[in-house]
Structure 1
Amino acid sequence: MTTQKDHHDISTLVSRFFRALDAREFADGWGGGFFTDDVRTTTPVGDAEGADAVRHTEVAIGRFARTQHMASDVLVDVGGDEETATASWNALMVHVHHDSTLRERGEGADPLFTVGGVYDAELLRTPGGWRISRMDVRAVWTTGEPPVVTA
């Protein structure tokens, strides 16, 4: 049974996660406040697990000069064991390209890459609160061009 507190706690975790991305708060161990140690992620730029998933997130955000992530309509379902939950939310993700990307693309290049998407997550209740154990990000629509990725 999903309680109001569980819904609030999970929704707050989602909001804090997006704020951390946009503030680029990637101090050592930052992922522990959001993810389990064995988290699995699937995003438009690839799949990753554990510490690689955390690093993958940092690299993806670093491809842009700035970002703004907004979550809405967080739906939460706590399992009968009260130790697991699922959550999904809509997201609007605005990415501002680095000046180097804009120079490479030339005059008139769109400075923004915007994505409308859906997140689906599985969560575990830990001594530190709810943590994401699986997170899938699905782009529903995009405008602009993705970043220039160099090997």
Structure 2
Amino acid sequence: MNAHGMTTHLDHIEIGLLVSRFFRAMDERAFPAGWARDHFTDDARMVAPVGVFEGAEAVRGTEEAIRRFARTQHMASDLLTDVDAASGTARASWNALMVHIHHEGEDPLFTVGGRYEAELRRTDEGWRFSRMAVEALWTTGRPPVLTPA
């Protein structure tokens, strides 16, 4: 925070770019070995409709959720950030429109309107998500079939 207790413009921009790069990685299925280090801390926790995942499992959970679909498109808007410069942490939230196309079937679209809440930590490489949760506020279409864990 600056002297007035507000997030700096640079922090806001950097966190916004992290959100955009994360969504782009999911939509492009850009999951090469080590991809998560560009987005997450090693102790990351992900809470999503498909489950709760910790550490490396947070990454695998994200990949598995995306691969349930033939294609996806994630759009983020209304990013709000609150940075605590002294501790090198931040909170962020944003709205998301998430379009999923099933691999097969008569009703190929599954669309979700939701909200993401995240905690971030500044690392030597920049901001990284340490906690992330997505809440579905509404859906249309056929959701994926979830198998019991």
Identify the TM-score tier after normalising by the shorter chain. over 0.9
Instruction: State the partner residue of 1:10.
Output: 15
Instruction: State the partner residue of 2:67.
Output: 62
Instruction: State the partner residue of 2:126.
Output: 129
Q: Which amino acid aligns with 1:83?
A: G
Give the structure-1-normalised TM-score. Answer: 0.92
Q: Which amino acid aligns with 1:78?
A: V
1:94 equivalent in alignment to 2:99: yes
C-alpha distance in 1, partners of 2:145/2:93? 29
After the TM superposition, which segments of 4 or more aligned residues of structure 1 sit over 6 Å from their partners? none
Instruction: State the partner residue of 1:138.
Output: 135
More helix by share: 1
Instruction: State the partner residue of 2:116.
Output: 119
1:81 equivalent in alignment to 2:86: yes
C-alpha distance in 2, partners of 1:148/1:62? 13
C-alpha distance in 2, partners of 1:11/1:150? 33
Give the structure-2-normalised TM-score. Answer: 0.93
1:51 equivalent in alignment to 2:56: yes
Shift, 1:80, TM fit: 4.7
Unaligned 5+ segments in structure 1 are 103-108
Shift, 1:82, TM fit: 5.0
1:147 equivalent in alignment to 2:132: no
C-alpha distance in 2, partners of 1:146/1:66? 14
Shift, 1:8, TM fit: 0.2
Q: Which amino acid aligns with 1:146?
A: P
> CA deviation digits over 1:13-48, x for unaligned, max 9?
000000000000000000100000000111111101
> CA deviation digits over 1:82-109, x for unaligned, max 9?
500000000000000002xx1xxxxxx3
C-alpha distance in 2, partners of 1:130/1:33? 9
Q: Which amino acid aligns with 2:27?
A: D
C-alpha distance in 2, partners of 1:62/1:12? 23
